[in-house]
Structure 1
Amino acid sequence: MYTVIGTVKSRAARVLWMLEELELPFEHVPAPPRSEGVTAFNPAGKVPVLIEDGTPITDSTAIIQYLADKHGQLTHPAGTLQRARQDSLTQFLLDEFDANLWTAARHSFVLPEELRHSAIKNTLRWEFEQSQKTLVHRMGEGPFIMGDRMTVPDIILTHCGNWALAAKFPIVEHRLTEYLTRMRARPAFIRAMAR
């Protein structure tokens, strides 16, 4: 039995969705970042935290890749060219999508007010739009980012797409809009977001 700590409005959503896709039982503790229920397992206070057999695992990407590898689903085998391509897409999404969104959030409400610079968000939006153009050229043919098989980058991309819409970062690529609509209709996604 797994335990997931973190709210669905955080990167914990990625872990909740992965577990729903894998159809695995788990307990969900919707503790907010930096709360006592989080810092007991992650001194940085960040969510999500996955607890397995009393051992905490942190960082959403590390957690979902671990789950995919352990259960042999939503991933390509390590040491294959497909896995190299999958890992490359994961890193691209973290660098170009997640990082811009997180920096915008930090300058919106995370940092102390005197350290926020709201003008940076214009640059981040521009970078986010440029990254979408690059992404659509890297997407495979089929319903998922790599083609006909759902993998870890699909969870990251869909989460970032939802985050972007909530943060008013425009989705400018029609193919990406269609993709996000398809992914948000998945039953496992709907179950995870309802938590």
Structure 2
Amino acid sequence: MYQVIGGVKSRALRVLWALEEMALDYEHVSAPPRSDAVISFNPAGKIPVLVSGGVPITDSVAIMTYLADKHGALTFPAGTIERARQDSLTQFIVDEFDQLLWTAARHSFVLPEDKRVPEIKDSLKWEFERSQKALIPRMAEDGPFLMGDIMTIADILLAHCGGWAVAAKFPIVEPQFRDFVTMMRERPAFHRAMAA
């Protein structure tokens, strides 16, 4: 059984959601960043942490990739063109969505107050809108998911960023992106993960 450390109002939700989609057993420890429960597995104090066979794995994208590869779900096989496209989408989402949202969070409540630059958020929101426009041509036309009719970890990552954007008051200006986020958040596995 896996152990997931981190609260559902963090990137740990991505991992919990992936585990639910794959119908895998896990134990959830809802612990905040830099808590003793987290530091005992990740000295940096960051969440999420997945403990697999006593070994801690950090970073939500790395964890989802590990789980997907290990269980042959939510991914295309390594070495295929489809996997290259999936990995490209995953990196695009990290660079163009996750990074902007995380920077905004850092300047809202993560950094010490005297290091925050609240004005940066206007620029980040502008970039977020541009990123949505760049995303749309990359979305499959023939299926509900980013790559068509097969769901991958990239879908979970993007849907999580979409929910985070709404909570952070970042504008979702592209209807296709908004519809995608809504569709993904209606999935039963998402609701089970939120209740974890």
User: Normalised by the size of structure 2, how large is the TM-score?
Assistant: 0.99
Q: Residues 111-150 of structure 1 correspond to what in structure 2 (within 5 A)? A: 111-141=111-141, 142-150=143-151
Equivalent residue of 2:34, what SS? Answer: coil
Equivalent residue of 1:64, what SS? Answer: helix
Letter in 1 for 2:151: M
- For residues 123-163 of structure 1, give each alpha carbon's deviation from its aligned partner in whole angstroms, at most 9, with x where no partner exists: 00000000000101100121001111100100100010000
Q: Residues 55-134 of structure 1 correspond to what in structure 2 (within 5 A)? A: 55-134=55-134
User: Could you say which residue in structure 2 is the equivalent of 1:14?
Assistant: 14
Q: Residues 163-182 of structure 1 correspond to what in structure 2 (within 5 A)? A: 163-182=164-183
Letter in 2 for 1:192: A
Structure 2 gaps, min length 5: none
CA distance in 2, matches of 1:54, 1:80: 31
User: Could you say which residue in structure 2 is the equivalent of 1:185?
Assistant: 186
Identity of aligned residues (%): 69
CA distance in 2, matches of 1:66, 1:127: 30
CA distance in 2, matches of 1:179, 1:156: 12
CA distance in 1, matches of 2:24, 2:153: 16
Letter in 1 for 2:113: E
User: Could you say which residue in structure 2 is the equivalent of 1:49?
Assistant: 49
1:24 aligns with 2:21: no
CA distance in 2, matches of 1:121, 1:185: 29
1:35 aligns with 2:35: yes
CA distance in 2, matches of 1:126, 1:102: 15
Per-residue deviation, 1:82: 0.4
Equivalent residue of 1:93, what SS? Answer: helix
CA distance in 1, matches of 2:23, 2:185: 17
Letter in 1 for 2:93: L
Letter in 2 for 1:173: E
Letter in 1 for 2:65: Q
Per-residue deviation, 1:53: 1.1
User: Could you say which residue in structure 2 is the equivalent of 1:159?
Assistant: 160
User: Normalised by the size of structure 1, how large is the TM-score?
Assistant: 0.99
